């Protein structure tokens, strides 16, 4: 196995730490990692060995007791009007919903699903459900009826909270097919319109409930969250997490996102995906931090206005959003000032070096890549505030998480790769608190993700001599050509450096001689037209940077790469389309791509 040449060499970005700079929560990674203990983090959250733990208790009751009047959530609507909730107001609202669920006998053992945008009712429902010991399961609100039906059927949810508009369009047509769904709460967009038959008025029920509730003394291993994966590599999986996950949410928000008590924090992820719940809801509240919630979708001018006006200090976003901002150029970003912005982080897809450098140009701060997945529940690899950033690298393993690279042989044995720069699958030693409990109704698949005492993530990476991890690709996407292992990410990074390229996706095409050849599908920058000359120029550019063995042999142009609704490029779909194979599960495909 060879290591792939061609990754652009970038100088590390060393952090400037002037006298007025906020010192990082973790100022020495190696010392913190050596002294780290999950039990000690649990103790900070009030967990006693053998005792109860409830996510809502740790992330809401605890900070609400310490700082009841502090601003917990600020929602901003399309007209920039704000709606604020203190920690205690949020706690009381969650209590009301917990009382409503308890009256409906939908506490322990029930699954409560939301089909909502980023609105206050989403938070009331999530923490209310957790408080009474139910499982909280968010769905992405842009899903149509069929993906909603199949997920509700899999989860066996008995309670759904949605808006009147979503109910009419997406739930009413499938409700008869969901016998387990007993109660549907509707958040009414228009209170003068009649309540749909067979539903409960969310606001009216909340208004009739007491605002005190004793949070259920759930055990750390009790089920708490059900997330569906993005469906990038196949049919989305239901991933179950326990209440103990909050220990990892809290620790990673402090040490990897560098959350300080006085931060204004903004996570742009949709609550329909794990990032939106782990880091848009639970983690910042557990840290007692004020969270900004934008009710609208990405808009370049709006985002810069929010960062400036709301004095955001820590911002957690995704490569797909950063690419949209980059596409708009530097002028809009420079029309605002961001004196409060201290830390920028990203997750969800490979973050190319240009995006890290763009952070420097646009905000004077690098973008800190973080790596994790629905199954890991929390950040496992990160670029930390006090450590140098190597653009293109995902960073170092999180303290308390044992990360390694491994090869899994067909006979089931595992080889750990200890020398630097070898490519292997990212594996994690079970034991961190937010490790998933199972794939819902697919225990077999869960068990298959473990071998030799390690969890196999399905992602390939290499680690350099400094301990930094570099993403190579998903195991399914890695290209094998003439004895080389080729990283689609490295080839894409090289192509993306060409001035005409907006973004690209690289796949392997079967070849009788060399096993697979590299093919790229390229989305061009606005105003640039595809042409045979440009194709030739791009192939030459690839060869120059990567060498003939690795550069794409063939290039196609597309107006838009197929993406999941959470913004990930679906290379499996490009492969299927190119080879004329069945397209598989498309429930999470972004429309129009
Ligand atoms: P599915 O499991 O259904 O195919 P998915 O893996 O995209 O979908 P998620 O759990 O939402 O579902 O995404 C996690 C995956 O996203 C990771 O396994 C990895 O492939 C990718 N990813 C996340 N962060 C990074 C990162 N910083 N760099 C590269 N890839 C990342
Ligand atoms: Mg996955």
* HEC sequence for 38-78: HHHHHHHCCCCCCCCCCHHHHHHHHHHHHCCCCEEEEEECC
pLDDT at site 325: 95
Instruction: Read off the pLDDT band of 17 (50, 70, 90).
Output: low
Q: Give the whole-angstrom CA distance, residue 164 versus residue 181.
A: 17
Domain made up of 29-463: CATH architecture: 3-Layer(aba) Sandwich (3.40)
Who wins on pLDDT, 87 or 481? 87
- Protein residue whose Cα sits closest to atom 18 of ligand 1: 373
Q: Give the whole-angstrom CA distance, residue 297 versus residue 252.
A: 26
8: pLDDT strictly greater than 60 = no
- Protein residue whose Cα sits closest to atom 13 of ligand 1: 373
Find out whether 440 and 154 touch, Cβ atoms under 8 Å: yes
Q: Which of 1-5, 196-200, 250-254, 489-493 is predicted with the least confidence, judged by mean pLDDT?
A: 1-5
Mean pLDDT of 89-117: 97
**What percent of the chain is modeled with pLDDT above 90?**
87
Q: Which of 61-65, 145-149, 246-250, 382-386 is predicted with the least confidence, judged by mean pLDDT?
A: 145-149
Mean pLDDT of 530-544: 95
The DSSP line for 167-178 is IIIIIGGGGGG-
Taking the CA of residue 588 as reference, the ligand 1 atom at the shortest distance is 3
pTM value is 0.94
- Give the contacts of 517 (CB within 8 A, at least 6 positions apart): 481, 508, 509, 511, 553, 554
Going from the Cα of 404 to the center of ligand 2, the distance in angstroms, rounded, reads: 18
**What confidence tens digit (pLDDT) does each residue in 439-472 have?**
999 999 999 999 999 999 999 999 999 999 999 9
pLDDT at site 5: 35
Q: If you search the block for the tokens 């763009």, which residue do you land on?
A: 358
Does the beta carbon of 562 lie inside 6 Å of ligand 1?
A: no
Does the beta carbon of 374 lie inside 6 Å of ligand 1?
A: yes
Surface-to-core class of residue 212, CB atoms within 10 Å of its CB (0-12 exposed, 13-18 middle, 19+ buried): exposed
pLDDT at site 592: 67
Q: Give the whole-angstrom CA distance, residue 83 versus residue 507.
A: 46
Q: Give the whole-angstrom CA distance, residue 158 versus residue 156.
A: 6
- Give the contacts of 19 (CB within 8 A, at least 6 positions apart): none
- Domain definitions of the chain by residue range: 29-463, 484-579
**What percent of the chain is modeled with pLDDT above 70?**
97
Instruction: Read off the pLDDT band of 9 (50, 70, 90).
Output: low
pLDDT at site 403: 98
User: Which of 213, 200, 135, 219 is CA-nearest to residue 162?
Assistant: 200
Best of 319, 322, 371 for a ligand 1 pocket test (most atoms within 8 Å of beta carbon): 371
482: pLDDT strictly greater than 90 = no
Closest-lying ligand to the alpha carbon of 349? 1
Best of 229, 270, 590 for a ligand 1 pocket test (most atoms within 8 Å of beta carbon): 229
Instruction: Read off the pLDDT band of 113 (50, 70, 90).
Output: very high
Mean pLDDT of 139-144: 91
11: pLDDT strictly greater than 90 = no
Closest-lying ligand to the alpha carbon of 380? 1
**What confidence tens digit (pLDDT) does each residue in 166-205 have?**
999 999 999 999 999 999 999 998 889 999 999 999 999 9
Does the beta carbon of 87 lie inside 6 Å of ligand 1?
A: no
Q: Give the whole-angstrom CA distance, residue 62 versus residue 1.
A: 51
Q: Give the whole-angstrom CA distance, residue 272 versus residue 555.
A: 34
Q: Give the whole-angstrom CA distance, residue 276 versus residue 260.
A: 19
pLDDT at site 412: 83
Instruction: Read off the pLDDT band of 3 (50, 70, 90).
Output: very low
Best of 228, 348, 370, 477 for a ligand 1 pocket test (most atoms within 8 Å of beta carbon): 348
Asked if 29-463 and 484-579 have one fold, the answer is no
Who wins on pLDDT, 490 or 483? 490
1: pLDDT strictly greater than 80 = no
212: pLDDT strictly greater than 70 = yes
Q: Starting at the edge strand that comes first in sequence, how are the strands of the sheet with 82-86 ordered?
A: 82-86, 71-76, 290-294, 264-267, 314-317, 343-346, 367-371, 381-382, 396-397
Q: Give the whole-angstrom CA distance, residue 253 versus residue 404.
A: 22
Taking the CA of residue 374 as reference, the ligand 1 atom at the shortest distance is 10
Q: Which CATH class is domain 484-579?
A: alpha beta
Closest-lying ligand to the alpha carbon of 425? 1
Closest-lying ligand to the alpha carbon of 376? 1
């Amino acid at each position: 196995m060879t290591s792939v040449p061609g990754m652009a060499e970038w100088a590390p970005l060393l952090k400037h730490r002037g006298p007025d700079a906020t010192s990082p929560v973790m100022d020495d990674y190696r010392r913190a990692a050596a002294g780290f203990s999950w039990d000690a983090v649990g103790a900070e959250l009030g967990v006693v060995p053998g005792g109860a733990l409830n996510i809502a208790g740790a992330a809401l009751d605890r900070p609400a007791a310490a700082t009841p009047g502090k601003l917990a959530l600020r929602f901003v609507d399309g007209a920039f009007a704000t709606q604020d909730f203190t920690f205690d107001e949020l706690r009381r609202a969650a209590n009301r919903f917990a009382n409503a669920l308890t009256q409906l006998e939908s506490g322990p053992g029930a699954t409560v699903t939301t089909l909502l945008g980023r609105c206050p009712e989403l938070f009331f429902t999530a923490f209310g459900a957790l408080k009474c010991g139910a499982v909280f399961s968010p769905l992405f609100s842009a899903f149509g009826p069929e993906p909603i039906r199949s997920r509700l059927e899999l989860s066996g949810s008995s309670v759904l909270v949605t808006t009147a508009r979503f109910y009419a369009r997406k739930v009413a047509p499938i409700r008869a097919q969901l016998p387990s769904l007993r109660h549907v709460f509707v958040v009414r967009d228009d209170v003068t319109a009649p309540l749909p038959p067979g539903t409960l008025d969310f606001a009216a029920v909340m208004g009739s409930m007491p605002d005190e509730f004793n949070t259920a003394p759930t055990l750390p291993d009790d089920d708490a969250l059900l997330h569906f994966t993005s469906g990038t590599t196949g049919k989305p999986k239901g991933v179950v997490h326990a209440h103990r996950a909050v220990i990892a949410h809290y620790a990673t928000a402090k040490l990897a996102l560098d959350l300080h008590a006085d931060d204004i924090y903004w996570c742009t992820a949709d609550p329909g995906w794990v990032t939106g719940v782990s880091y848009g809801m639970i983690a910042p509240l557990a840290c007692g931090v004020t969270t900004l919630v934008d009710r609208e979708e990405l808009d370049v001018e709006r985002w810069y206005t929010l960062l400036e006006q709301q004095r955001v200090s820590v911002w957690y976003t995704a490569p797909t959003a950063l690419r949209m901002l980059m596409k708009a150029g530097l002028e809009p970003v420079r029309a605002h000032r961001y004196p409060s912005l201290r830390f920028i982080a990203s997750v969800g897809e490979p973050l190319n070096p240009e995006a890290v450098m763009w952070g420097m140009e646009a905000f004077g701060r690098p973008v800190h890549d973080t790596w994790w997945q629905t199954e890991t529940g929390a950040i496992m690899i990160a670029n930390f505030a006090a450590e140098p950033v190597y653009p293109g690298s995902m960073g170092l393993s999180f303290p308390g998480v044992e990360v390694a690279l491994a090869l899994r042989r067909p006979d089931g044995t595992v080889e750990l790769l200890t020398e630097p720069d070898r490519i292997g699958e990212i594996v994690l030693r079970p034991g961190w608190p937010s490790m998933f409990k199972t794939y819902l109704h697919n225990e077999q698949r869960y068990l298959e993700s473990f071998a030799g005492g390690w969890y196999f993530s399905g992602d390939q990476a290499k680690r350099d001599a400094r301990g930094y991890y570099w993403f190579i690709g998903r195991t399914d996407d890695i290209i094998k050509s003439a004895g080389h292992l080729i990283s689609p990410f490295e080839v894409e990074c090289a192509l993306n450096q060409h001035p005409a390229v907006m973004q690209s996706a690289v796949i392997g095409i079967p070849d009788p001689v060399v096993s697979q050849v590299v093919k790229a599908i390229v989305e061009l920058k606005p105003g640039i037209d595809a042409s045979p000359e440009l194709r030739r120029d791009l192939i030459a550019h690839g060869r120059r940077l990567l060498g003939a063995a690795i550069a794409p042999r063939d290039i196609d142009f597309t107006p838009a790469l197929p993406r999941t609704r959470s913004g990930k490029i679906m290379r499996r779909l490009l492969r299927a389309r190119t080879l004329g194979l069945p397209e598989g599960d498309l429930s999470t495909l972004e429309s129009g791509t």
